[in-house]
Structure 1
Amino acid sequence: MRRTTAATQGALRTAIWHERRVELAMEGDRFVDLVRTGQAATVLASYGFKAGKNELFPIPLDAMNASLGLFTQNPGY
């Protein structure tokens, strides 16, 4: 990580998130990071992201059928 002048907790977190984004570019981790840090609704709103639905993926129908009723579908699907 390059040197940072972050003086507050928020500024340091922003610097770390930026560095993680640069280091892991094209690795497919950004979506998970955005959901985990609660930033997905803000950052991805212009792409149609809906909070409360798009944080989880749907459970495949064959997995639902094979579970014999143990699974319930994720909300919104």
Structure 2
Amino acid sequence: MTEAYSCQQNPVAKPYQRLQTFGVDVRHIAQQYLDKPNLKSIEFQGRTGLIQISNPHIQRPPHCFENIRKGIRSL
């Protein structure tokens, strides 16, 4: 994800990046329910982390990173 944004000629602000990645995950969830209306659970690795949906609960443990001198490091 970070690599995709760092390659842009006109980089966007971090809050916008987070909003955009959240939107990608939401669209994926919506498409799953449109494709299979009776779907009871979903689990996938989204851009914002692992997403687990089991009606009526949604769990999304986030990806965590740490800023270091050479960029970022996954925790």
Q: TM-score, normalised by structure 2?
A: 0.32
Q: TM-score, normalised by structure 1?
A: 0.32
Task: Flag the structure with larger Rg.
Answer: 1
Bigger strand fraction? 2
